[in-house]
Amino acid sequence: MLVLKGTTEIIENVKNGEIINKGCPECQQDLLLKQFRVWDTLFLIPIIPSRETRFVYECVRCYETFDPAYRNTFINRAKYLNATPQEVKDLTDAFSLTILSAILTCDDRSTENVVDILKNFARNCGIDLENHKEKVTTEFLSQEELSKTVLEWYDIFRDCFSEENRDKALHQTLEYCNIIDLTVKETKLLYIFSRHWGLTKVQFEELHKGKI
């Protein structure tokens, strides 16, 4: 008797699976979490799953699938998809303040000195500090992972906004740092951020007087 064995891949809905509203980068529709499983078949009938389950997000309209590794990207893109020009400006200003805060708190500056510099920075760059007053609080400035926050913000801007908006936050910080005295440690962190943005060492030194 001929026994027909084989495999087939089946996509299934995940019970209570996450829905990312308007997360599809292709058509801006919802993404549903689904699972792919390879099943052993007997006479073309699935019998038992034979391999590890693979998860994907699938668009409800175009059926494009996306790797869950990019979950935060989809959520951020959906969140900022319809941001107004004023909202983008506020986000860019908040990003700039966060970059400078991370730099000024990485060494031994007093909180009072950091706050004074941030206030002057806001005035120089036309930033409404009243909208971002949480950025000059002791609670915000005492965070241990402000540098990590900067890199997370960078990812959001890279995924959701134009390169111009992303670069503005760094460049206005670079320009302002030319009129204040940074310590060696602070300058090195500014350089790390600049390199993360893609600037070469030569470009950094052209924009900022501090040498590495």
Give domain limits for the chain: 5-71, 83-207
Mean per-residue pLDDT of the chain: 89
Per-residue pLDDT tens for 39-78? Answer: 777 776 667 777 677 899 999 999 999 999 899 899 998 8
Q: DSSP string of 26-59?
A: TT---EEEEEEEEEEEETTEEEEE-S--EEEEEE
| Residue % of the chain over a pLDDT of 90 | 65
Per-residue pLDDT tens for 163-178? Answer: 998 899 999 999 999 9
Q: Mean pLDDT throughout 26-45?
A: 83
What per-residue confidence (pLDDT) applies to 209?
75
What per-residue confidence (pLDDT) applies to 25?
87
Residue 87: pLDDT over 90: yes
| Residue % of the chain over a pLDDT of 70 | 93
Q: DSSP string of 141-181?
A: HT-TTHHHHHHHHHHHHHHHS-HHHHHHHHHHHHHHHTTS-
